[in-house]
């Protein structure tokens, strides 16, 4: 067992003490912030998410705030997603690539005003990356971490819980839309219908860090009526649903076309963006790999580094993540495979940490 050192280099979420008091035991570090991942009952936490409702401290999902006269032009320059119809009040998933077309991060962009955006970042230093590009290309923007510590309420009962905690108005928030509001005794928040699961729910951004315990307690108190559980971003459900884990499913050289994000890249739009030329070349040449599902023989799912995949003796890619699916009662994985061996039904051999296993390629998602 590895004990995680708590020291001054890593940031604490504003809910850190509350997560510990609620029983969080298993942590990682994400965006240089402690991220509670588990409370000691992974299967129970999974069922809470898919059948009831669960509360996650995802303050580690830090924001990059972009402001100023060039904010809109700059945010468009960072992503190949066409943002020309992006309206205030909306969120958009926006893969970002480097100048070579490699996927760097896949934030959700929240448009707070015509000159104010948040990039809700996956693990990686998107703040300094964005500042580097802005400085090198002369964009007139401000770029800071607004420290807005989000909580996620996820699961089929998320609407009922959020309505009880915040008010019935939350039910009217559409998918990937948000509302700014005061909840409880006037706690300033932004409530967005979003989150890293396919079970429905909200992300709640806190606009006054000093009121974190109050916000947490408000949700927990309302949650008692709903069998609410505590949890964290769920590694089983996200594989079942094929939600990309950036930095896990893609390796350092992967482009968005290889990991099923090609639909977000608009090579026809007028606006220039980082990696455009490289991505156009990749498409012209042809995409070499594809992210696919695999069913794995047996129940070994303890993957701590990619498992090499073989067709006969030929290396054809790797399994990037694996889980035992309680709903499917099967072992499933996400594999980045050469296109010649990515067809549904292809039989592969995978070198797991517990020895070789047979694997069969399948389509994604495992559970729609």
Smallest distance from its own copies to CB 344, Å? 24
H or E, element range at 164: helix 158-166
Smallest distance from its own copies to CB 128, Å? 5
Smallest distance from its own copies to CB 11, Å? 8
Residue among 26 and 213 whose Cβ is closer to its own copies: 26
Smallest distance from its own copies to CB 64, Å? 12
What single-letter DSSP state applies at residue 121? Answer: P
Rounded Cα distance between 95 and 366, Å, is 22
Smallest distance from its own copies to CB 20, Å? 8
**Cα dist from 368 to 198, 218, 239, 330, whole Å:** 9, 32, 11, 16
What are the structure tokens assigned to 334, written together?
Answer: 């996400």
Residue among 248 and 339 whose Cβ is closer to its own copies: 248
Residue among 42 and 223 whose Cβ is closer to its own copies: 42
Smallest distance from its own copies to CB 234, Å? 12
Task: Yes or no: say if 95 and 57 are a contact pair by the CB < 8 Å rule.
Answer: no
Rounded Cα distance between 302 and 322, Å, is 7
H or E, element range at 77: helix 71-78
Helix axes 71-78, 126-137, angle to 10 degrees: 110
H or E, element range at 198: none
Rounded Cα distance between 251 and 259, Å, is 10
Smallest distance from its own copies to CB 95, Å? 14
The edge-to-edge listing of strands for the beta sheet with 63-67 is 91-93, 108-113, 116-120, 63-67, 142-144
Residue among 208 and 227 whose Cβ is closer to its own copies: 208
The β-bridge relationship of strands 229-231 and 201-206 is unpaired
Contact positions vs its own copies (CB under 8 A): 1-12, 25-29, 32, 34, 37-38, 98-100, 104, 123-125, 128-129, 131-137, 145, 235, 245, 247-248, 252, 274, 303-306, 320-321
Residue among 147 and 214 whose Cβ is closer to its own copies: 147
Residue among 40 and 263 whose Cβ is closer to its own copies: 40
Residue among 51 and 145 whose Cβ is closer to its own copies: 145
Residue among 119 and 162 whose Cβ is closer to its own copies: 119
Smallest distance from its own copies to CB 164, Å? 31
Q: Count other Cβ atoms within 10 Å, centred on residue 267.
A: 15
């Amino acid at each position: 067992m590895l004990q995680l050192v708590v020291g001054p280099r890593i940031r604490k979420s504003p809910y850190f003490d509350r997560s510990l008091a609620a029983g969080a035991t298993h942590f990682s570090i994400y965006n240089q912030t402690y991220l509670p991942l588990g409370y000691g009952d992974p299967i129970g936490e999974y069922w809470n998410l898919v059948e009831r409702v669960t509360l996650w401290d995802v303050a580690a999902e830090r924001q990059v705030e972009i402001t100023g006269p060039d904010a809109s032009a700059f945010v468009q320059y960072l992503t190949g997603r066409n943002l020309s119809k992006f309206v205030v009040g909306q969120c958009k998933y926006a893969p970002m690539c480097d100048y070579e077309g490699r996927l760097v991060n896949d934030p959700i962009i929240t448009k707070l005003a015509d000159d104010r955006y948040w990039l809700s970042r996956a693990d990686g230093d998107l703040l300094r990356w964005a500042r580097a590009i802005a400085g090198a290309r002369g964009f007139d923007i401000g770029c800071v971490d607004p420290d807005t510590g989000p909580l996620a309420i996820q699961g089929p009962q998320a609407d009922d819980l959020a309505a009880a905690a915040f008010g019935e108005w939350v039910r009217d928030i559409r998918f990937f839309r948000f509302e700014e509001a005061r909840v409880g005794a006037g706690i300033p928040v932004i409530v967005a219908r979003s989150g890293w699961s396919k079970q429905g729910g909200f992300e709640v951004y806190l606009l006054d860090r000093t009121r974190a315990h109050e916000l947490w307690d408000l949700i927990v108190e309302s949650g008692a009526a709903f069998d609410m559980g505590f949890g964290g971003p769920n590694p089983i459900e996200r594989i079942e649903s094929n939600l990309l884990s950036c930095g896990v499913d893609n390796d350092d050289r992967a482009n968005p076309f290889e990991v099923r994000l090609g639909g977000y890249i608009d090579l026809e739009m007028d606006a220039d963006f980082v990696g455009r030329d490289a991505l156009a070349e990749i498409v012209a040449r042809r995409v070499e790999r594809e992210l696919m599902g695999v069913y794995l023989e047996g129940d070994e799912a303890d993957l701590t580094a990619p498992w090499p995949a073989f067709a006969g003796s030929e290396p054809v890619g790797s399994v990037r993540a694996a889980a035992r699916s309680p709903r499917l009662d099967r072992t499933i994985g996400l594999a980045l495979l050469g296109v010649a061996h990515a067809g549904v039904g292809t039989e592969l051999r995978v070198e797991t940490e517990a020895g070789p296993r047979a694997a069969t390629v399948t389509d994604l998602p495992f559970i729609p």
